[in-house]
């Protein structure tokens, strides 16, 4: 473990910092080197997703692969001969040992390099002292905290209170980051239907995002992995403090493959196209209601009659009619005073629609 920062006298942090030596140095901006991404070479070296000596975060749906990806980072570092920490508030060591074995890690390597902590009491001077003893003689390069919300709760803080989140950040997370460790906080999400592209955000205060000194990613599920089927996830960049990954782009595709004898292979690579395609709302619920309404009426109706009869938001019903016409479920002619006349052709069922997405 790197030498711990020297304890400074009270009030000393307000003293002017002498920048002379820094100005003379060949400063290079921090580069993410933890969690290497294939096909991401810059200056001949692969980029990582996470910054050493910084606080990073990955957030996503519960059961969406965050724990698997944290173990992928841990295994990467152990394979390089480094120690790795998991501070676990949510699970037990058996789960993680089993998964690392599936990933091909030997018990000898786990025993030598894996530092497992399962706290059930808040971070204070006693906890810090015990933790320092556990890290004596060790050189961890990464520390996973699973999860951010549970850690706040154990320490008696609320994820919705700015000052409490800031106080927590000055505890375990900063203690490790100041010693050069790449800290990765795992977090859950709250969904916002009003955000562009159905963007997801971590639960709680904006202070969480502001406190990230490295990188933040939303782990998006494309195909959920299971014991029987391969999985596809994506790291969506939400914040990169030093600009190596563009915000709101796909930093990496993750492919989880099942191998013989219960093995698991995880491949992480930069996609050729990193842009995020906007999600187009398909009003299948209203398409089905319009189709039923036209079929039941047994006659041609003008567009306004359908909108009035079906009910609901005008735009959704109008879009539903337009889609039914364009996809051949009904026809449209222009009548007197340019009124749109809609005629039923065939039934539309949302349940059998291959493009159906439930908006509710």
CATH of the domain at 330: 1.10.10.10
Closest CA to 157 of 168, 147, 146: 168
Q: What is the pLDDT of residues 36-66, one digit of tens each?
A: 999 999 999 999 999 999 999 999 888 889 9
C-alpha 109: how far from chain center = 28
Q: What is the pLDDT of residues 9-28, one digit of tens each?
A: 888 889 998 988 888 888 78
Q: What is the pLDDT of residues 312-358, one digit of tens each?
A: 889 999 999 999 999 899 999 998 888 899 999 999 987 666 555 43
In a domain, 101, yes or no: yes
The verdict on 289 and 219 lying in the same domain is: no
In a domain, 141, yes or no: yes
Number of domains into which the chain is organized = 2
More confident residue, 162 or 41: 41
The verdict on 197 and 293 lying in the same domain is: no
Residue with tokens 């800290």: 183
Residue 3: pLDDT over 60: no
The verdict on 264 and 334 lying in the same domain is: no
Q: What is the pLDDT of residues 164-209, one digit of tens each?
A: 888 888 899 999 999 999 999 999 876 543 333 344 556 655 667 7
Range of the domain at 302: 284-352
Q: Sorting pLDDT into bands at 50, 70 and 90, what band is 211?
A: confident
* Model pLDDT, residue 197: 38
SS3 content of the chain, % helix, strand, coil (to 5): 35, 25, 40
pTM score, whole prediction: 0.73
Cα(286)–Cα(232) distance, integer angstroms: 31
In a domain, 93, yes or no: yes
The verdict on 39 and 143 lying in the same domain is: yes
In a domain, 124, yes or no: yes
The verdict on 250 and 289 lying in the same domain is: no
The verdict on 204 and 306 lying in the same domain is: no
| Cβ burial, residue 61 (10 Å; 0-12/13-18/19+) | middle
In a domain, 232, yes or no: yes
Whether the CB-CB separation of 220 and 62 falls below 8 Å is answered with no
- When mean pLDDT is compared across 87-101, 136-150, 156-170, 206-220, the lowest value belongs to 156-170
For position 46, which CATH number holds?
3.40.50.300
The verdict on 226 and 347 lying in the same domain is: no
The verdict on 144 and 288 lying in the same domain is: no
In a domain, 358, yes or no: no
For all residues of the chain together, what is the average pLDDT? 88
Structure tokens at 58: 């990955």
In a domain, 179, yes or no: yes
Closest CA to 218 of 66, 360, 70: 66
Cα(106)–Cα(125) distance, integer angstroms: 35
The verdict on 145 and 187 lying in the same domain is: yes
Residue 245: pLDDT over 70: yes
* Model pLDDT, residue 201: 56
Q: DSSP state, 265?
A: E
Percentage of the chain modeled with pLDDT above 90: 63
Last residue of a domain, one of 206, 241, 269: 269
The verdict on 190 and 126 lying in the same domain is: yes
Last residue of a domain, one of 207, 240, 269: 269
* Model pLDDT, residue 76: 98
Last residue of a domain, one of 244, 269, 294: 269
In a domain, 160, yes or no: yes
* Model pLDDT, residue 359: 34
The verdict on 306 and 250 lying in the same domain is: no
């Amino acid at each position: 473990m790197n030498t711990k920062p020297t304890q400074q006298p009270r009030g000393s942090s307000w003293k002017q910092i002498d920048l002379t030596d820094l100005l003379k140095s060949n400063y290079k901006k921090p580069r993410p080197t933890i969690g290497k991404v294939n096909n991401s070479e810059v200056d001949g070296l692969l980029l990582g997703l996470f910054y050493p000596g910084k606080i990073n975060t990955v957030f996503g749906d519960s059961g969406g692969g965050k724990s698997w990806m944290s173990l992928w980072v841990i295994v990467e570092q152990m394979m390089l001969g480094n120690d790795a920490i998991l501070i676990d508030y949510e699970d037990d060591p058996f789960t993680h040992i089993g998964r690392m074995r599936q990933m091909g890690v030997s018990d000898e390597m786990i025993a030598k390099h894996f530092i497992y902590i399962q706290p059930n009491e808040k971070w204070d001077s006693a906890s810090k002292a015990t933790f320092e003893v556990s890290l004596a003689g060790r050189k961890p390069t990464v520390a996973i905290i699973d999860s951010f919300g549970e850690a706040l709760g154990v320490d008696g803080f609320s994820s919705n209170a700015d000052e409490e989140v800031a106080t927590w950040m000055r505890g375990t997370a900063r203690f490790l980051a100041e010693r050069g460790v790449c800290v990765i906080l795992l977090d859950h999400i709250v969904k916002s239907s009003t955000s562009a592209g159905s963007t997801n955000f971590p639960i709680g205060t904006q202070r969480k995002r502001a406190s990230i000194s490295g990188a933040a990613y939303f782990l998006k599920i494309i195909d959920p992995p299971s014991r029987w089927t391969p999985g596809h996830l994506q790291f969506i960049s939400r914040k990169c403090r030093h600009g190596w990954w563009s915000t709101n782009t796909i930093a990496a595709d993750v492919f989880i493959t099942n191998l013989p004898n219960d093995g698991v292979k995880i491949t992480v690579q930069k996609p050729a196209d990193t842009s995020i395609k906007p999600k187009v709302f398909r009003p299948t619920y209203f398409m089905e209601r319009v189709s039923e309404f036209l079929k039941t009426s047994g006659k041609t109706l003008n567009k306004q009659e359908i909108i009035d009869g079906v009910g609901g938001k005008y735009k959704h019903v109008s879009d539903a009619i337009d889609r039914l016409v364009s996809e051949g479920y009904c026809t449209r002619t222009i009548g007197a005073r340019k009124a749109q006349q809609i005629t039923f052709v065939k039934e539309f069922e949302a349940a059998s629609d291959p493009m159906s997405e439930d908006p509710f």
